[in-house]
Chain A
Amino acid sequence: MKLPRLEFRGLYIAGVYGRLRALRTKSPALHHWWWQRITAVVLVPLCLWFAASLITMVGAGHAAAAAWVGSLGVALLLVVFILALCYHAYLGVEVIMDDYVHIERVKAKGVLAVQVVLGLLAVVGVLAVSWVLVGLA
């Protein structure tokens, strides 16, 4: 079927080929469009996995949680989860700010603030997982 013209942050991206080509361009807006989707696809199974795992730990104490976070496979998936989640959240909030904040200076500061906060969250999350993984918890 014919693909609709797709607008993303003021740029038109036509067809599947155009979208794939966009991935290789240096345009930050198109990179954002793609990374939003790539992280979304990654987050679908990871969110379901994380939610299901949390449910099994309801009512259980610290030992169960530490054992779960501290196993190598889980820790690696958690790191991917945290990074994808924070980046996806940052890109999403940025698009929303683009649409609703019309004063450039305010927008730039807002985007920077979100970048810093979500960046810090990602770093703290990865450090916490590493801490448990090496057995310091």
Chain B
Amino acid sequence: MSCKICNRNNKELKTVDPDVSWKEITRGGTIPYAGNAELFKTGDWRSMKPVWLQEKCKQCLLCYPVCPDTSILVNEEGKRVDFDYDHCKGCGICAKVCPFKAIDFVEEVK
């Protein structure tokens, strides 16, 4: 699994087993897998959920930088894509910020 838009090193993300032995664990707590937090899903923190109303979206891009969880990504053409629901914590900042009401904020239904 790699970063959706930019994978500078083109590497497969790795992490460390919860059951790893002391002989196998990475030395000194150093992690040589930069950016591997992507493997950790925080989407289940949500109780509310943003929904992208594409037809209303003017691609003004005011939403993507306000996301604390890098869950609104922008593609090579400079257009936002759908939410990364693996990481979105449902804070609602993007919905508030959208000037075109193109982001709905609804209850998360599991």
A associates with B: no
Residues of A at the B interface (CB closer than 8 Å) are none
